[in-house]
Amino acid sequence: MTNKKFYVTTPIYYPNDIPHIGHAYTTIAADIITRWHKIKGKEVFFLTGTDENAKKVFLAAEKKGKDTKKFVDELAEDFKDAWKKLNVDYDRFFRTTDKDHVKEVVNILNKTHKKGDIYKGVYEGYYCVGCEAYYTEKDLENGYCPIHKTKTELMKEESYFFKLSKFQKKLLELYEKNPEFISPKSKRHEIINRVKEGLRDLSISRKDYGWGIKIPFDKSHVVYVWYDALTNYYTATRKKGKEKFWPTDVHLVGKDILWFHAVIWPAMLMSAGIKIPKKIFAHGWWTFNKEKISKSRGKVINIDELISIAGVDSARYFLFRATPFGDDGDFSEKTLIDRHNNELADKLGNLVSRVSTLVEKYDVEKTENKLLKKLNLKKIEKLFKNYEFDKVLNEIFSFIDICNEYIQNKKPWETKDKKILYELKESILKISELLWPFIPETSEKITKQFNAKKIKKGEILFKKI
Ligand code: MSP
């Protein structure tokens, strides 16, 4: 194997409230990718964490009357708990208040400053605290943020600027030379067109309001939270033993924050003379019963709610089975339960239960596995490489259908044919391996059951709801 290491990241989440399904989506995706590469024998570095030096975080703490650091300490634990409950096995939980991070942000700012890519000016325009982003009047909808639909802040303030405009040509070259740098394709064109329209320099500091990393060459300013946050991906690889993971193989992000990752982040790195990540993949957004997920309107699914519907594995399965990873999807309890009943219980659960019962009774006898040849592994590999998770699962479940039909046709309960049972047993083990990234808990149960010296009918894997 040529490349034995793999580095995957999720965005670092604002700890201004507890995690919900949107955060879980990217984080489980990163877990799936991690497990997949582990099966392939790679050494994987999976990074997630919290983006703490944000104004919205500061304001949320203030609203609760809490000390900001104490507030983020508590919420960071909530995120860690959530990932534990969802069986997400990350390597580092990154917090932008971590010491090594502050040091690295300062380091990159100094490098960029020395290059002459930072200058002092006045920022005049709009700011949405929800997005932690700057807007011009024409971006807004009647003065309101196009994403949050909330009133934006009109600002006029001394600020340091990063010469983003200088990198237009270089960025376009990067996209041209690396057609997969921005994925999926549809999103790539959007970004390229916007970059072609021209880039404005980016305000990267605010007058110190009591929270955030100080600008090293002017302590009366704090670093703009996105400049700070993006750096996390690099900081994490400055630790001993982790250097080899840079550049990132894939940054997973939601479509709303693609611009920051595909435009601002590579420009920051170009200026600081650091290698550029290999891929930014933008996934779609979940709505809830066709409505935008919104806390204020009570349309939000937190992690406990998500798990309580049909268990962890069914939730993980549903999120990646129902909708292509790059598209928007609609979440409803009913559709999750339908998939749980019709696919996990009726197809997978049934196959495992029938075969284990028969093997317990009649045993197996080694033979050439013709059944397994019907599984198109090459196709699955290719689909996975493009993060077409829904199609990967479709392929695996088509094979599960084939296995169920095979039992129906071969009737091993009548023939007591141990060779047929061997083929089925081995096929189930392969299915279980392929499903491990998606439904790890169930997969581990199946693998243990079918690798045992004496295979026995086990407990029901998915109880129907
Ligand atoms: N802190 C920044 C990221 C900095 S990365 C250097 C941030 N945080 S966030 O907490 O607001 O959101 C993080 C992610 O959650 C984004 O990728 C966003 O797309 C995702 N989601 C939030 N709501 C979502 C849905 N309803 N559906 C799918 N993903 C969504 O942005």
Given its phi and psi angles, is residue 418 left (phi above 0), alpha (psi -120 to 50 degrees) or beta? alpha
On average, the pLDDT of the chain sits at 96
Residues 6+ apart with CB under 8 A from 399: 374, 375, 376, 427, 431
Residue 51 CB-half CA count within 13 A: 23
Tens-digit pLDDT profile for residues 392-416: 999 999 999 999 999 999 999 999 9
| Centroid of ligand 1 to alpha carbon of 40 (angstroms) | 29
Query: How many angstroms separate the CA atoms of 182 and 167, rounded?
Result: 17
Q: Which of 26, 55, 224, 323 to mutate to test the pocket of ligand 1 (most atoms within 8 A of CB)?
A: 26
**If pLDDT is split at 50, 70 and 90, which confidence band does 43 have?**
very high
3-state secondary structure of 146: coil
Q: Which atom of ligand 1 is nearest to the CA of 293?
A: 26
Q: Can you say how many angstroms the Cα of residue 294 is from the centroid of all Cα atoms in its chain?
A: 20
Find out whether 267 and 227 touch, Cβ atoms under 8 Å.
Answer: no
pLDDT of 303 reads 97
Please report which helix (H) or strand (E) contains residue 304, including its range. helix 303-310
| Centroid of ligand 1 to alpha carbon of 384 (angstroms) | 23
Query: How many angstroms separate the CA atoms of 284 and 286, rounded?
Result: 7
Q: Which of 18, 28, 51, 187 to mutate to test the pocket of ligand 1 (most atoms within 8 A of CB)?
A: 51
Q: Which of 58, 285, 296, 325 to mutate to test the pocket of ligand 1 (most atoms within 8 A of CB)?
A: 285
Query: Which amino acid residue places its CA nearest to atom 24 of ligand 1?
Result: 22
Residue 1: pLDDT over 50? no
Query: Which amino acid residue places its CA nearest to atom 17 of ligand 1?
Result: 254
Find out whether 249 and 278 touch, Cβ atoms under 8 Å.
Answer: yes
Query: Which amino acid residue places its CA nearest to atom 29 of ligand 1?
Result: 22
Q: Average of pLDDT values for 377-385?
A: 97
Whole-structure pTM over 0.95, yes or no? yes
Looking only at the bridges linking them, the beta strands covering 205-207 and 218-223 are antiparallel
Which single residue is written with the structure tokens 């259908």? 401
Residue 374: pLDDT over 50? yes
Residue 143: pLDDT over 90? no
Residue 326: pLDDT over 60? yes
Q: Which atom of ligand 1 is nearest to the CA of 252?
A: 17
Residues 6+ apart with CB under 8 A from 154: 125, 126
Q: Average of pLDDT values for 88-100?
A: 97
C-alpha closest to that of 351 among 420, 415, 400, 408: 400
Query: How many angstroms separate the CA atoms of 326 and 185, rounded?
Result: 9
For 359-396, the DSSP string reads HHHH-------TGGGGS-HHHHHHHHHTT-HHHHHHHH
Q: Average of pLDDT values for 146-158?
A: 90
Find out whether 234 and 104 touch, Cβ atoms under 8 Å.
Answer: yes
**If pLDDT is split at 50, 70 and 90, which confidence band does 296 have?**
low
Residue 297: pLDDT over 90? no
Residue 200: pLDDT over 90? yes
**If pLDDT is split at 50, 70 and 90, which confidence band does 211 have?**
very high
Residue 292: pLDDT over 90? no
CB atoms within 10 A of CB 278: 14
Query: Which amino acid residue places its CA nearest to atom 8 of ligand 1?
Result: 13
Q: Which atom of ligand 1 is nearest to the CA of 256?
A: 19
Residue 199: pLDDT over 60? yes
Tens-digit pLDDT profile for residues 107-138: 999 999 999 999 999 999 999 998 999 998 88
Phi, psi of 300 (to 5 degrees): -145, 145
pLDDT of 387 reads 97
Query: Which amino acid residue places its CA nearest to atom 5 of ligand 1?
Result: 11
Tens-digit pLDDT profile for residues 441-459: 999 999 999 999 999 998 9
Query: Which amino acid residue places its CA nearest to atom 18 of ligand 1?
Result: 254
Residues identified as active-site: 20, 23, 128, 131, 145, 148, 292, 295
Residues with C-beta less than 6 Å from any ligand 1 atom: 11-14, 22-23, 25-26, 51, 229-230, 232, 253-254, 256-257, 285-286, 293
| Centroid of ligand 1 to alpha carbon of 253 (angstroms) | 7
Domains of the chain in start order, with CATH, are 5-283 (3.40.50.620), 333-451 (1.10.730.10)
Query: How many angstroms separate the CA atoms of 447 and 274, rounded?
Result: 43
Kindly state the percentage of the chain with pLDDT values over 70.
Answer: 98
Q: Average of pLDDT values for 68-74?
A: 97
**If pLDDT is split at 50, 70 and 90, which confidence band does 32 have?**
very high
C-alpha closest to that of 34 among 50, 48, 15, 19: 48
Query: Which amino acid residue places its CA nearest to atom 6 of ligand 1?
Result: 230
Please report which helix (H) or strand (E) contains residue 422, including its range. helix 418-435
| Centroid of ligand 1 to alpha carbon of 254 (angstroms) | 6
Q: How far apart are the first and last CA of the chain?
A: 44
Kindly state the percentage of the chain with pLDDT values over 90.
Answer: 93
